[in-house]
Amino acid sequence: MKSRVAALLVLLLVGSAAFASGAPWYRWINTTDRTILCSQIPPGVGWILYQGPYQESRCKKQGNPE
């Protein structure tokens, strides 16, 4: 009985992940040399959010990923 409950919980957790959407991409600009890059997370100290969100890693198609 416990193994069935555990299996059901695992299926529910894995199944819910199938409906998750991807994280959006953003353009970040370096405050010292004005370099621009595309990343989902802040690159670190000295970078500020420039543009976004974008749907893909080239930062060409605007909007949130579906």
Q: Are 54 and 36 in contact (CB under 8 A)?
A: no
Q: Model-level pTM?
A: 0.69
* Cα–Cα distance for residue pair 25/9, rounded to 1 Å: 32
Asked if the structure places residue 40 within a domain, the reply is yes
pLDDT at 28: 98
Asked if the structure places residue 28 within a domain, the reply is yes
Residue 14 has pLDDT above 90, yes or no: no
* Cα–Cα distance for residue pair 45/28, rounded to 1 Å: 11
22 vs 17, higher pLDDT: 22
- The pLDDT tens digits for 37-55 are 999 999 999 999 999 999 9
pLDDT at 15: 66
Domain boundaries, position 41: 21-66
Asked if the structure places residue 2 within a domain, the reply is no
- Name the domain count of the chain: 1
Asked if the structure places residue 64 within a domain, the reply is yes
